[in-house]
Amino acid sequence: MASLTFTFSSKLLLFMILCLSFNQFSFVAPAEFEVGGDHGWVVPKSKNDQLYNQWASENRFKVDDTVYFKYKKDSVLVVSEEEYEKCHSAHPLFFSNNGDSVFKLDRPGLFYFISGVSGHCERGQKMIIKVLETAHPPDQSANGNTTTDIPTQNNAAAAAAAALVFDQNMNPISSPIILPFIVSFFGLLFV
């Protein structure tokens, strides 16, 4: 009986180590956000309305996410901060007026969006999106020494939780890299 427990524990430990080592290669797919939700890209009902900045503050944007603008008889421009404040741009960084515009957030930092239709920006049809910095592994120490925590039976549950991948709303998602190891785990149990 003790031999069976030891074999099971060893296989579980091996599986946890594999999951942790391959977790660094997993990824979360970029997300597409529909600007304004159900309202779309329209002039807010009241002047100086912060509808779009409020919407943007309720979302977490990452590099390579896209924002989708749905509108009629309007346009969307990406502009500098100064042009955003003035609600006018002679040379926008991005311009689209096709009613279904997609813009890729290709770097961390602030993006400034305004409507290109005269008077719409002044009435609140503008938005600032903050794109978060990408997570980087911690820098190596100056002497090159690093430590790695190896899961034991006492922290195997924590190791399993660390191997999960989450979406922007912290819902667990499957990863094409982790899934084969989960299947392999069940194979190890019955060998």
Asked if residue 11 has pLDDT above 80, the reply is no
pLDDT at residue 146, rounded to an integer:
46
Comparing CA positions, the residue from 37, 28, 42, 59 lying closest to residue 130 is: 59
* Residue showing tokens 């998602």: 173
pLDDT in tens, 110-156: 999 999 999 999 999 999 999 998 765 555 544 544 444 444 444 44
- CA 69 from centroid of its chain's CA atoms: 18
Asked if residue 74 has pLDDT above 90, the reply is yes
Greater pLDDT, 70 or 7? 70
Q: Packing angle between helix 178-189 and helix 2-23, nearest 10 degrees?
A: 170
pTM over 0.85? The answer is no
Lowest mean pLDDT among 38-42, 58-62, 100-104, 134-138: 134-138
How far apart (Å, rounded) are the C-alpha atoms in residues 149 and 129? Answer: 37
**Cα dihedral value 155, 158, 164, 168, nearest 10:** -160
CB 26 within 8 A of CB 178: yes
Lowest mean pLDDT among 36-40, 117-121, 180-184: 180-184
- CA 10 from centroid of its chain's CA atoms: 35
Greater pLDDT, 98 or 26? 98
Q: How confident is the model at residue 69 (pLDDT cuts 50, 70, 90)?
A: very high
Q: What is the mean pLDDT of the chain?
A: 74
Phi-psi region of 170 (alpha: psi -120 to 50; beta: other; left: phi over 0): left
Tokens coding 40? 């779309």
Alpha carbon distances (Å) from 102 to 49, 69, 94, 115: 23, 6, 11, 14
DSSP E strands, the chain: 32-34, 61-62, 66-70, 76-79, 94-96, 100-104, 109-114, 126-132, 165-166, 172-173
Contacts of 91 (CB under 8 A, 6+ apart): none
